[in-house]
Structure formats: C-alpha cells, structure tokens
Amino acid sequence: GSRFQVVQQGPPIEVFQLNRMFLDDPQPNKINLSIGAYRDDNGKPWVLPVVRKMEKQMADDETLLHEYLPVLGLEQFTTLSTSMLLGQDSPAVAAGRAFGVQTLSGTGSLRVGAELLNKHLKYTTFYYSAPTWENHHLVFMNAGFTSPRTYRYWNAKTRSIDFDGLIEDLRAAPENSVVLLHACAHNPTGIDPTQEQWEKIADVMEERKLFPFFDSAYQGFASGDLDRDAWAVRYFVKRGFELICAQSYAKNFGLYNERVGNLACVISDASLVPAMKSQLTWIVRGMYSSPPAHGARVVANVLANKQLYDEWREHIKGMSARVIQMREALRAELIKLGTPGSWEHIVKQIGLFSYTGLTQRQSEHLVQEYHIYLLKSGRINMCGLNPSNVQYMAKAMHEAVL
C-alpha cells in the first residue's frame, strides 16, 4: 500500500473547473464568462501591443541574463510600481516611508503581506467583504491567521453596498484586526464605495485602530484611469494610515501567467524600512527564495518610459471601454426582449465583472442548457461577451429568468 493513501481528493476550484469545462465543450456557440481574464471583440485573449513590443526588444538584449534576482525582486520594478500606486508626487514616497517587494502576482503579495502581519505584528483576525474573491480566506489562513471574519458588503435586494452593515461590522471589530479592502473594481460585485463612503470607512478604521490591507488587482479597470482608481489607497495614505497593498499586473498588463506583483508598504517611520525589508527577505527566502524576472522587467521598462507608459494607459482605456460597451449591449438586449426585472445594475457595476443577480439555479441552467459558463454566484466576466454573442447571452438569460 502507499503511504499516500491518507491523501483524499479535495474539492475542485470552481473557476478553473468551469474554464476546463468550457475548453472541453465542442459546442460552437459556447461562451466563457467564468475566469477573470480580458478577451477582445473576437473573444480572443489579448497580448497588449506594448508588452509584445517590449518582449521583442528584450529578446535581442544580450545584457539580460538569467541570473537570480534579489530576494525582494527587481528594485526598478518595485520602485516604479509603488509610485504608480501612490502617485508620482506622493509625500510618503518622497519621505522614504514607502517601498515595495516584488511578489508572485497579487496572490503572492497577499500571502507575503499576511505572513508579515501575522509573524511579526502577531495579528490573527482578518476581515473580508461578504462576498469577496474566493481565495482571500485560504491565503490568510495559510499565512497563519486564525480568526476569519466577514463584514457586510452586498445588499442583494438593492443591488448596492450594505453600507450601514459594513460600518456596523467594522465598528465591532477588535483592535488590530486586518481589514481587506478592494482598492477598486470590487470582485465579484463590481460596486465600489463612493469617496464619501471611503472617508467614513477611514474614520471607523482610525477610531477602532484597524489595519488596512488593500488588494489592487484591477487598477485602471474601474474608471479607465490609473490615478482615479488609486484614489482610495492614496486617500488612506494622506490620512496618515500605515498600510500595505497587494498590486497585481495580471489584468492591467495582461501578464496573467508571468506572476508579476508588488507588495507596496507604507509605514510612518522611515527608519524602520531596513528592518522591514530584512524580515520580508526572510519570509520570501523560506517560501520561494526569489521571484521570476521576465514579467517584472516588462512592466518596469514600460513604466520607466514616458511614451510606453502612455501607450499602456491607452490600452487600459481601450479595454475598460470595451467592457462598458458590453454592459450597455447586454442591458439593451434584455430590454429589447422584455426580460422581467431591472437590468440597470449591469451598467452601473464597474470593472471586469457583473454580479448579475442570477440565482444559483439559473446560473447552472445557463451552463447546462446553453453552454454559457459562469460562476454559480451569478458573477459574469463581461469580457467574455462580444458583438457576436451578446444576443445569445441575453436570450439565454431571458429564458432562465422566465
């Protein structure tokens, strides 16, 4: 017998399972609305032209070697990334109290950040929105946190934020709880707090001495503008909070499999930066030793060059505009069909996703009967829609809700 007999089959990861089912499905009119990746007007994955250009240039650059990066990554990348988040004129950056650590995309950032807070600050309680990205819970638990809690976020009836619930839950949080906040384009609901609401969230967090851990996986996708999408993080920094933020370049650079991320840290005392970096070095050393170079070089080279940076901003504008067009197209089709219910929320929501309000039964019905793959929560990736399939989608939704 094998000593591995003790190992039992675990549950599947819903989003990857749906993606697999989609790929295996021979139906020509199938639609993939599951995984959060950008698709162009023809339903195809899109390599950003500025990325392609940079990769071609890098391929011929014989000064680029495959030597190890430092444990905390490529310094040019972490510096540029931290400024991209906090703003070119950020006083925290100027004062030397902000720095970054290159990580394995957004997920790796969350993990390294959570481990720092647990191992060194001894924080054990973390709060995440109900609902949130389904991996937050696992990442924090694996990093050593023991008390997971949720704060109210989504009001299914009004299809908006349950703001009173959110504030009440944060008010009741014990001191030093870590509060996970989506920097913008909340996944899965597509609804962000207003600036006024962020101010109230900051008030409560200050009063209750809670620690803000921002997750920024979609900078640029909420408004089409990188600076506007960083407003909440910058506001908390301006208010004097110490915070950390997990930045992912999976979506806004289309570098999903390159695992490019930055853990941006803002602390109140610049003299503590060396100690912080030293302990982060040991955390990374014991986990994966050092990060990969290719994607970080691509991002750093683009962020460092004004012309390429502007090109990238244009790509982001284009991607977010296409998502908005699809929101409008889907709503228009549903109205044309006279589908019962209000579909305003589809155009009000922002970012890649729409939390459609379809029930689990209706969502599963779309998978089984229509070959339209979406999460059972009713979340759809808007980019899976394009001018050739939006009508089919609306018809399927129409029949599912009747």
Catalytically active residues are 133, 215, 251
Least distance from C-beta 352 to ligand PMP, angstroms?
A: 8
Near ligand PMP by CB under 6 A, which window of 104-112, 306-314, 361-369, 388-396?
104-112
Strands 178-182 and 211-216: parallel
Pick out residues in 153-182 that bind ligand PMP (CB under 6 A). 182
Least distance from C-beta 170 to ligand PMP, angstroms?
A: 19
Give the residue from 127, 113, 125 showing the smallest Cα distance to 246.
113
CA angle 90, 94, 99 (to 5 degrees): 85
Which of 189, 223, 248, 381 touches ligand PMP by CB under 6 A? Answer: 248
Q: Which is nearer to ligand PMP, 263 or 394 (CB)?
A: 263
Contact yes or no for 215/182 (Cβ under 8 A): yes
What is the rounded CA–CA span in Å between residue 37 and residue 46? 9
What is the rounded CA–CA span in Å between residue 112 and residue 95? 24
The answer to whether residue 378 forms part of the interface with ligand PMP (CB under 6 A) is no
What is the rounded CA–CA span in Å between residue 39 and residue 336? 25
The answer to whether residue 106 forms part of the interface with ligand PMP (CB under 6 A) is yes
The answer to whether residue 187 forms part of the interface with ligand PMP (CB under 6 A) is yes
Contact yes or no for 234/90 (Cβ under 8 A): yes
Least distance from C-beta 140 to ligand PMP, angstroms?
A: 12
The answer to whether residue 113 forms part of the interface with ligand PMP (CB under 6 A) is no
Which of 32, 79, 107, 320 touches ligand PMP by CB under 6 A? Answer: 107
The answer to whether residue 295 forms part of the interface with ligand PMP (CB under 6 A) is no
What number of chain residues touch ligand PMP (CB under 6 A)? 12
Per-residue HEC secondary structure of 125-181 comes to EEEEEECCCCCHHHHHHHCCCCEEEEEECEECCCCEECHHHHHHHHHCCCCCCEEEE
What is the rounded CA–CA span in Å between residue 116 and residue 327? 39
Least distance from C-beta 83 to ligand PMP, angstroms?
A: 20
User: In the complex, which residues of this chain contact ligand PMP (CB under 6 A)?
Assistant: 36, 105-107, 133, 182, 187, 215, 217, 248, 250, 261
